A and B are shown apart, each in its own frame.
Chain A
Amino acid sequence: MSSLDEIPVVSGAGAPASRELPLNGALESVLHEVRHALARLVGTGETTKIDLKSMPFGPGDLDRLIAFLGKGEVQASIEALGPTRVQETATAGVWLVDYLNSEAQRLALHLEIAHVPEILRPQPQDLDDAIAALDARLNRVGGDPPPTS
């Protein structure tokens, strides 16, 4: 494999990504979609997910998009069915969620326009289970459980 990697791949369309590069039609339409989703988030609180794997991107387009969006302050990692990496972009409320399997191969790549990405939030059923589990542990330690209401 290392010998294959040594072959330099030159791609005219996929020149070094940078913010200054002119965006092509596919990237522009994604960014407009993001813009409208942000407006919806502010207006109605509705969240939006955009599947970046289903986009007819050309070589280098994805890198260019990610470079364009930039990096924000938050980074998170989830270990469940392989790693999932969450990166806030330079645009607040726009998250890049990268679902990987245990071999670090990408299962899905989403742009999520939300206050907090869904995968970061605890699942409602897990919260119920958490109360039950905590109660059980407190019981084991001794004393009555606190009233629930």
Chain B
Amino acid sequence: MSELTLERGLAAFRAEVDGPVAAFFSSCVHCGICAQACPFYVETGDPKYTPILKLEPLRRVWENDFTLWGRIKGLIGLQQKVTDQMLAEWEELLYDSCTMCGRCSMVCPVGNDLALMIRKSREGMVQSGHAPEGLIAASVRAIQTGSPMGLQWKTLAVQIKHVEDSSGLAIPVDKDGAEYLVLLSSMEVINFPEYLEAITRIFAHAGVSWTLSTDCFEATNAGIQIGNKDVAAELVERVVAAAEKLRVSKVISPECGHAFTAIRWEGPNLIGRSYPFKVFHIIEVLDELRAAGRIQTEGMETDRLSMHDPCNLARKSGVIQQQRNLMNLVAENFVDLKEHGKLQWCCGAGGGVSSNERAEPLKMAAFKHKKAQIEEVNAERMVTMCATCRTQLEEGLEEFNMDIPVVGLTEMIAEHLVEKPRPASPADAQA
């Protein structure tokens, strides 16, 4: 029976070395500024969480195998080898203390994209058998059941029924030729069912043609988080197959950060071809509808609101202005965190950290930076657009006994929709 070995790991590390990686490692001067961008270092003060240090295994593979200098060193026995023991030690650094938020990539003076290299390093970690149990379990469940949390369609079907009952609107399922295929995340389905109702009402309000797919409703991608192309590609293939089957022209990724980068940026490369459809985050879609005048709202939130940009959405996908446009539509006392947008701070839970039970203390430590940011602007409520971030904010604020509720932006928009006379429906009749 085949197993994950150091040799497979090293081969995977090697496969990830490309021009940018070579340029990045050639340029690092050990200035240590990346540490100042990392919530794990900033909040623990432990220098081992310095981002560039987390990349030491990949750096060694690059130097040993891809540079003339490394080869010369090899001839005289000066190479620093990557060992199984080293990788075991680095597991904590590459998984527990990194959310791949990419903030270090934004501040590195020589321009090193460290987050990209963490993502690449994880390929080698998985192949050498050094991934955290929590992420392995999530990946196995995702492949086997279609959802990292083991959620089945039948659970979602119950949810759909609830929403249809409470909103009086029909939720289209497997509607061939719809404009949008809507994806969900298991976490939303379980923790934030309001989301499904909110988009149902907004799309009905704006007259959007959309559908869910019984073949694939899950947008999240455990393969991206654990860092394995095989798992990730399999999960992307399922989305692409569902979208192609229903012949939709657009796919909407839900309020989940990594799901969006997975399907939007990594997906085409994982399956090795372009999509016959476009991919949007729900916030992009909502802002387009707003800009087109297809969303009519009434009333404003009056409390002091602030917003948390999910890393995957803002810094790593360029969706920054859209959520602010939407906030201004419904909130009159909105104040941004001091550092936001492309330079926002991670909540501490992304990149698989939240699926990695062992990392719980570090996750909470990293959150302290977000907490400080929130306190700095005296927010009364936080708005965000990622289920993982939202869960982390809620848990973290509770941990520190702060009475600051967290809401999803899509729901908030839905609450301010102007009521329109709707076509008669079974739900109406019941009301």
Question: Do A and B touch each other in the complex, judged by CB within 8 A?
Answer: no
